[in-house]
Amino acid sequence: MEALGGEIIGFVNGGRRREQDEDTEAELYALYLLEDMQGKGYGRALFGALVHHLAGHGYRALEVSVLDGNPAEAVYRHWGGQRTGSQQIRIGEVTREEIRLRWSRLDEFLSDGRLPE
């Protein structure tokens, strides 16, 4: 996403869920915004564009994984993501908890107004 003036301020990336067998499950791979652009609605716009794109390509559900303590977890919960589980992962010498959040029905999410504005 670029702001007025052409500066790139963020991006979103998602697609087929990497750890599954069904083609109707999607995953949010990344959503990034420059820190001074956060809290201004750009993240909601990026997320909304991704959800519309995925639903338009036949995906019915969306998942994202975040490390415990990542402020994005609260944002995803605010946008309707439901915690479905967690696992311990090792990053270098450190073990961290990775939390999974899910939007189970993208069609309902789009039709009932839960999509971030």
Residue 64 forms part of a structural domain: yes
Q: How many domains does the chain have?
A: 1
Per-residue pLDDT of 76-113, as tens digits, reads 999 889 999 999 999 999 999 999 999 998 887 777 66
Give the integer Cα–Cα distance in Å for 13 and 50.
Answer: 8
Q: Which CATH number belongs to the domain containing residue 44 in this structure?
A: 3.40.630.30
Distances in whole angstroms, Cα of residue 25 to Cα of each of 4, 40, 110: 34, 29, 16
Residue 77 forms part of a structural domain: yes
End-to-end alpha-carbon separation of the chain, Å?
16
91 DSSP β-pair partners: 94
Per-residue pLDDT of 50-80, as tens digits, reads 999 999 999 999 999 999 999 999 999 998 8
